[in-house]
């Protein structure tokens, strides 16, 4: 069976050593895959590569990005624009800076809808209403008239998530989506991602440097170190039986060891699993 997403990448920036070095990663449909690495390890570079936005940062990707039967590196920009927003969604880490401060929330959501479809306005409004309800935000006229400055950081992050799921993308790339949030709001957003994955079947590539938060949401975890994927496996395996020295260092550096009950997903079948670390 062909993987939902398969990546084998080397990425260079001008006058710099390779940021990604033959980084290999595969993902199953409907899976939540965590990508963990310290700052500068190449996490965001990998995300930009999937979206084919790397050139805007002066980078060049070599290798393969195979997504739902298509080689993304061979597509023309016009073809990639049809995928971005519709099949590939993105949630960034700085919600208030990601939203246009001069446009009302309703306008931004509707513009994002119109950018990726020729459907009628009424359909877009229904999709926006459903997306806002999915992320537990109001969808009344008063809320839609608000400017980003009138939202809390948590609300702004939920608006970004709603914008990203309006077209029900097959893959949602969440790049450090909770780094700007307090602990309680972070927990709420993580629960929201789990809900969206379960209810919509959306695959999520969850990028973070926070191993503890990833442990609560991801089916599998990939460890990125100095531009290479050094280990990838089920969450319980990564925590309980890490094989790479860098992974062991990450776990040893945790301020506390998680003891979690969760489910492991294997080829679309959910079976009970236990993550216990003493």
- Read off the pLDDT of residues 231-244 as tens digits, 9 standing for 90 and up: 999 999 999 999 99
Instruction: Kindly indicate the confidence band of residue 254, based on its pLDDT and cuts at 50, 70 and 90.
Output: confident
- Tell whether the model's pLDDT for residue 271 goes beyond 60: no
pLDDT tens sequence across 17-67: 889 999 999 999 999 999 998 888 889 899 999 999 988 888 899 999 999
Q: What angle do CA 267, 270, 274 make, to 5 degrees?
A: 115
pLDDT tens sequence across 125-156: 998 999 999 888 998 999 999 999 999 988 99
Q: Domains of the chain: which residue ranges?
A: 1-29+40-83+212-278
Whether residue 91 contacts residue 159, with contact meaning beta carbons closer than 8 Å, is answered with: no
Give the model's pLDDT for residue 214.
Answer: 81
**Rg of the Cα trace of the chain?**
19
Indicate the pTM of the whole model.
0.88
Domain 1-29+40-83+212-278 sits in which CATH superfamily?
P-loop containing nucleotide triphosphate hydrolases (3.40.50.300)
- Distance (Å, rounded) from C-alpha 264 to C-alpha 266? 7
- Tell whether the model's pLDDT for residue 118 goes beyond 90: no
Encode 223-248: b = buried (16+ Cβ within 10 Å), e = exposed: bbbbbbbbbbbbbbbbbeebeeebbe
DSSP conformation class of 28 = -
């Amino acid at each position: 069976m062909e993987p939902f997403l398969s990546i084998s990448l080397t990425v260079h920036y001008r006058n710099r050593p390779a940021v990604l070095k033959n980084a290999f990663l595969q993902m199953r449909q409907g899976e939540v895959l965590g990508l963990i690495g310290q700052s500068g390890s190449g996490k965001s570079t990998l995300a930009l590569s999937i979206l084919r936005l790397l050139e805007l940062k002066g980078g060049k990707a070599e290798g393969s990005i195979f997504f739902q039967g298509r080689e993304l590196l061979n597509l023309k920009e016009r073809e990639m624009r049809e995928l971005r927003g519709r099949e590939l969604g993105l949630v960034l880490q700085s919600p208030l800076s990601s939203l246009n401060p001069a446009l009302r929330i309703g306008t931004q959501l509707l513009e994002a809808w119109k950018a990726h479809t020729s459907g009628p306005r009424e359909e877009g409004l229904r999709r926006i209403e459903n997306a806002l309800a999915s992320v537990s935000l109001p969808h009344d006229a008063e809320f839609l008239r608000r400017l980003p400055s009138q939202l809390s950081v948590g609300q702004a992050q939920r608006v970004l998530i709603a914008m990203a799921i309006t077209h029900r993308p097959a893959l949602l790339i969440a790049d450090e989506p909770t780094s700007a949030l307090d602990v309680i709001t972070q927990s709420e957003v993580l629960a929201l991602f789990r809900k969206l994955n379960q209810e919509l079947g959306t695959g999520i590539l969850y990028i973070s440097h926070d191993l503890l938060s990833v442990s609560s949401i991801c089916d599998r975890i990939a460890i990125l170190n100095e531009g290479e994927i050094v280990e990838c496996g089920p969450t319980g395996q990564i925590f309980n039986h890490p094989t790479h020295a860098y992974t062991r260092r990450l776990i040893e550096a945790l301020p506390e060891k998680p003891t979690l009950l969760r489910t492991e997903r294997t080829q679309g079948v959910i079976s009970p699993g236990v993550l216990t670390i003493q």
